[in-house]
Every structure is written in C-alpha cells, then in structure tokens.
Structure 1
C-alpha cells in the first residue's frame, strides 16, 4: 500500500518537473490560442449582434418607408379630387364656345360704315345700356337705364357720358341731334296694351316737338328665347310681336323710321336664339358690337 502511494507521488513529481522544463513559448502559444478562441467567440458574438442590429434597423427602415409610402398614397388619394375638380372647372369657361353653334358674327350683317354716331342720341332700357357698354357707339349720347319705360322716361335722370346727371327734357333742350334712336317697350308689357301705345305715341310727339330736325328711329323690342317665353304669360314673344307691330304702325303714322333687329338674332322658330343669350332676354356682350355694326349699315 505504501509502495502504491510512493509510486503515485513519484509519478506526480516527475510530471511537475517535466512541465516546469517546457519552453515558455509553448505556454504562450497555448495562452494565445486560448485568447484567440475567446476573441473569435467574442467577434462571433459581435457579428451576431451587428447582424441582429442591422436586421432590426432594416426592419425599422422598411416600416418607416412603408409608413411614408402609405402617407404619400393617402396624400395622393386626397389630391385626386382637387385635380378632378380643376379639370371640371376648366370647361365652364370654354363651354359657350363648344356648345354654341352661333357664329362669331351673324352672316346677315354687312360691313358697317365709319359712322361715329356724332350728333346721335340713343334712348332706351337695358338693351340700349348693353349697346353703350359692349358696342361702339362712338360719339353718341346715351340716355338709358335698366328700368326705363315710356311711363317714367321724362321723370328719370340719367348720368351721361360727361358725368353729369340730367333728365331727358334737359338733354333734348340743350343739344341738337341729327338722329335719335328710341327702343322701349319690354318693361311695359305688364301694362294694358292700349295704355302702353297711348303713352308711347305721347313720348314720340314730345321728342319730335323738342327735336323737329332729327330723324327719329323707332326700334323694335328684342325677342326672348323660347324657354324664357314658355315660362311667362307676360314676357313672351307673342306679346312682344304684337307690341312691335303697333310700334311699326306708330312709326308709319308719325313719319318715323322703324328698325327691327330680331332677324339678326332669331332662331328658325322666330325666338331669340339660345346660342346668343344666357339669361333668355339679353344677348351676350360680344354680340352687341355686331348689333351696332348692323345699325351702322342700316343708316
């Protein structure tokens, strides 16, 4: 038993001495190898962590990109109706040109003269206002407003082109005219026909008395559109035609000229063409110059 222990002790001592005699670099190599293994393990862990971080970063970036894309798509969806609305709005300006079949200048109009309407007076309602505002009446004086009628003509004051406000009696008394155009009647249609005609004739006589040297031209009232006429028992072309016929008779009996512009703007049914009007009662602004040229060519 003792020998056994001695053997063990001897063997251990030999092994310790053997280890102590090994070259130092062997231990260093082993230590370096151990360190390298540790470093490799650490680098592996670091690479794993980096990969995981990159993976997480990529996922976050994709999530953000997805959110941004969704936001842009939502913004695009919100913007779409605005573009559609703008496109819808655009044709409104072009509509009168695309839907209207009327030519820019009716073919029945002959070229006008260089008449400047010097020494000329235009008397009337809103249609005459349109001639003044949108046509070229040159040097003419205009006595007109939208509510003018034969019943209030001599009681109304109007601002003239020189800026002064005068009554018709003052205008007729202070100036001499070679031509006077009178167009009234549409605002009177609600009155009894015979009272309209009596007052109309009285107006003609008063003007003639003030301006005996002037050529007095009685103008027919402009028709309304078929649609406008169908909506009213008063302002319709049947009553307008009856009044115009009576005005023509007054012109014949008093030695005045009679001028009917309706052939210029009527459609094939004898109504004001809807292509020339938007409200059914007045022509579009651009056609008043056509009307003025027609008056020039009729002088």
Structure 2
C-alpha cells in the first residue's frame, strides 16, 4: 500500500511540475504582446491610462469665432467680397428729339456749362479753346485726324512720356458732354465714305468710354475763297463731308450742331477777315463759334 501511495504521489508531483513552466510561458507571451502592440493597461476603475487627448477639429473658414478664440486663430487670406460697380446710365435724349435735323436754337447757357465737357479735334479746336478760355477739357492737336486719334502719340505726360488722344480721353475722371470736330485734315482722302466710317468708330469709342455723355458732332467750318481756289481743300468738298456727318449723326443718334452756319459768308466761304491763313479762325470768329454753341444745346 505504501508503494502504491508513493507512486501516485510521485505521478501527481510530476504533473504539477509540468504545469508551472506552461504558466510562465503564457505570462511571458502576454507581456510581450502588450508591449509590441501598445495595448494600454486597464486600471481598477476601468479608465485608460497614458492615452493622448482627443484631437479637436479645426474650425471651418465660415465658422463664427468663439468668445475665447483670438483673431490670430482665424484665416487671414479669406476672399473678400469685391465692390459691385453700378453700371453707367446711358445718355437719354429728349423723347421728341429729331436726329435727322440739326440742333435747334435753345436758351443761352453760360461758359460754366462747358465745365464738364471735352473737345476733341485738330488745330482749329485747339485755337478755339485758347481764344475763348472756356473751362472745358481739350484734347486737340495740330494735324490730328479720326484715324491717328488712336495711333499718334502726341500728348506729353508730366514724366515726358507721350500718349495718344484715345489714351488721354480714357484717363479723364468725369465727362458729361463731348464735342467733336474733325475733317479739315481728312479732306484730301480719296473716299469720303472712309472718313465717315472712321468718324463713326470714334463716336462708338467715345460712347463706350462715357455712355452717359451727350455727344455733339460739329460741322466743319469752310475755308476762305482764296484757300478753296487752290484745289487742295475746297469748300465743295467740305460741304460733302458735312452732309456725310449729318447722316452719320442720325445713324449714331448723336447731336449734329452746325457751327459752320455761323462762320460762312454769303458766298459760301469763310470771310477773309475771319482768318489770316484762310483756315484757322481769329479770336473774334472763335467767339462767334462759342456763341453758336451756347445757343444750340440739348437739355
């Protein structure tokens, strides 16, 4: 009996000794797994230890700024709403105005009426502005024509750079009236239709720049009888050009003011006493020109 007891005890002891190494191996395996995969230990209260705080979502660009959020936390490069420019109001002529006729006689206006006007033209316009002294803006130059208005750089800037008449016109701040007179330098052109076409392009350009401005096309004053007889610049050709301008003004719905009416003698020519060279007007005739404009306006 003692031998059997010994044998059983020995077998039981061997079995227990075999279980001890397995528990150690399992514990080692468990510890290794925790370290390798960074599995946090769980405390007695079930709370995770040594974990990072949750990441807060960044506010969207349109989210309102909270009370404890500084201005530095808001984006500085957000697009701002651009200013909305009101479209210019186009010039509206009187409802009953007849563009097929010349500007009729009106109540006289003062010189100040031209304060917001710009005069475009050649040397004749340049002399007119010089002699009358009206407070208008002048873009006029000797030899300037309806085509070189866009190409000839003849107006010197403060820095010495020269710009075209078109560039100078585009740089004005406020224009309510535009007076044009071209043609004396274009009389020698082969085709009068080309002159009218180029003049029409100039009118379109002015209207595009200043849609609210009233546009006046002035007729071309004649030259003296002596100058016309030379054959280079005849009064017959000037009358032809003026007829084309009258038709063009009706087509473009602009005002045709016939200043030549006040400067033409009974013989259809410029009086000899009006100009020293038969073309460019003296001061007294520039005053007649101005008087005509002041009594031929459109409200």
TM-score bucket of the superposed structures, by smaller chain:
0.5 to 0.7
Matches within 5 A, 1:152-191: 152-159=148-155, 166-174=163-171, 175-191=173-189
CA distances 1:185-205 after superposition (whole Å, capped 9, x unpaired): 110111121221211111111
Contact 1:172 1:211 in 2 (8 A): no
Q: Does 1:273 align with 2:290?
A: no
| Counterpart pick for 2:262 among 261, 264, 270 | 264
Distance in 1 separating the partners of 2:215 and 2:157: 21
Q: Does 1:216 align with 2:215?
A: yes
* Residues paired across the two proteins, number: 190
Distance in 2 separating the partners of 1:162 and 1:141: 17
SS in 2 for 1:122: strand
Contact 2:139 2:165 in 1 (8 A): yes
Aligned residue in 2 for 1:129: 126
Aligned residue in 1 for 2:198: 199
Give how far 1:123 is off: 0.2
Aligned residue in 2 for 1:284: 282
SS in 1 for 2:215: strand
Rg (Cα) greater in structure = 1
| Counterpart pick for 2:138 among 142, 152, 164 | 142
Aligned residue in 1 for 2:246: 248
Aligned residue in 1 for 2:292: 294
Contact 2:224 2:272 in 1 (8 A): yes
Higher-helix-fraction structure: 1
Distance in 1 separating the partners of 2:220 and 2:134: 19
Distance in 2 separating the partners of 1:246 and 1:258: 11
Q: Which runs of 5+ in 1 are unaligned?
A: 1-107
TM-score (norm 2): 0.58
Contact 2:121 2:180 in 1 (8 A): yes
TM-score (norm 1): 0.58
| Counterpart pick for 1:239 among 215, 237, 240 | 237
Matches within 5 A, 1:78-93: none
Give how far 1:290 is off: 2.8
CA distances 1:35-60 after superposition (whole Å, capped 9, x unpaired): xxxxxxxxxxxxxxxxxxxxxxxxxx
Aligned residue in 1 for 2:67: none
CA distances 1:74-121 after superposition (whole Å, capped 9, x unpaired): xxxxxxxxxxxxxxxxxxxxxxxxxxxxxxxxxx9x965243412211
Distance 1:267 1:209, change over 3 A: same
Aligned residue in 2 for 1:22: none
Contact 1:219 1:258 in 2 (8 A): yes
Contact 2:263 2:289 in 1 (8 A): no
Distance in 2 separating the partners of 1:245 and 1:262: 12
Contact 1:119 1:178 in 2 (8 A): yes
Distance in 1 separating the partners of 2:154 and 2:137: 11
